[in-house]
Amino acid sequence: MTKSSWTSAKLPSFEGKTVVITGANSGIGLVAARELARVGARVVLAVRDTDRGTAAAATITGITEVRALDLADLASVRRFADEWTGPLDVLVNNAGIMTPPEGKTKDGFETQIGTNHLGHFALTNRLLPHITDRVVTVASMAHRRGTIDLDDLNWETRTYNRVAAYGQSKLANLLFTLELQRRLTEAGSPVRAHSAHPGWSATNLQSHTENRLYDGLMNLGNKLLAQDAEAGAAPTLYAASQDLPGASYIGPDGRWEMRGKPKLVGRSREARDTELAKKLWTASEELTGVPFPAAVSGGQPEKK
């Protein structure tokens, strides 16, 4: 396996650039915010809890701003986007939840597909006219355990399985990136869409299942197998800063992609299915009521 030597120390200057990072008050989102601010970016921490976001921003040296965003509430997504003015260089769709108990978002979506995919789908499309450089969406190795059920994305007829639901939402992240890039290219836009995954990184993502046994096993795995959040953020930072082909997928270069330095990595066959990506996009538009914008930054109106 080809090894990478890239680290965040090799980040280029982001002077004069604006970056939005969802879920940036902890974990790999906070590390990404800190590193991008370090190289000159104006970093907007888009977070559900603005008090925690303000506390996180206080630990960052550089230009930061905290704005409220609840991806489990499409009204909050709309407000965030409606209040945005001016160019946005990079959007990092980082926020996510992992294997919580069965639940619904404010709009009635299954919690994981609603937060991890549909919230970011709506946010990206609403912000796209402002975006000038790229969209980076954080996926997961767990996409390989997922499958897309277009007839039951919200687990209304299937018996709920929190692990399978998480896998579906992370597979949706990759399919979203694939179809977003196709649409950007068709529109003549220079904006690129990429995905990244952090391998197994020790963050608080794994500790909110409300299942003591599962939380205990995940915490043990964090101690024995995981890399830290700094290493886990490297694929996101690589995807946000390097000259890459559209729809690139970045992950760690170590065994089973669990840890290591960032490099281009593979994905499951279903995650490469362009027709499934189109169908998921259509379903996501119908569920959120948010279409691909008629014009995107630097491009032409969408072809009909």
Residue 104 is given by DSSP the state B
CA dist., res. 24 & res. 92, Å (int): 10
Q: 3-class DSSP state for residue 146? A: coil
Catalytic residue (one of 160, 166, 214, 249) = 166
User: For the CA atoms of 109, 111, 116, 119, what is the dihedral angle to 10 degrees?
Assistant: 40
Q: Which segments of 83-208 does DSSP mark as H helices, in order?
A: 111-112, 120-127, 162-186
Strand pairing report for 18-22 and 249-252:
unpaired
Per DSSP, the three-state class of 136 is strand
Order of all β-strands in the sheet with 249-252: 63-68, 42-47, 18-22, 88-93, 131-138, 192-196, 249-252, 262-264
* 249 noted as active-site residue: no
Separation between Cα atoms, residue 234 and residue 252, nearest integer Å: 8
What value, to the nearest 5°, has the Cα angle with vertex 58 and ends 55 and 64?
Answer: 110
Token pair, residue 144, equals: 């390989």
Q: Which residues pair with 48 in a beta bridge?
A: none
Catalytic (active-site) positions: 166
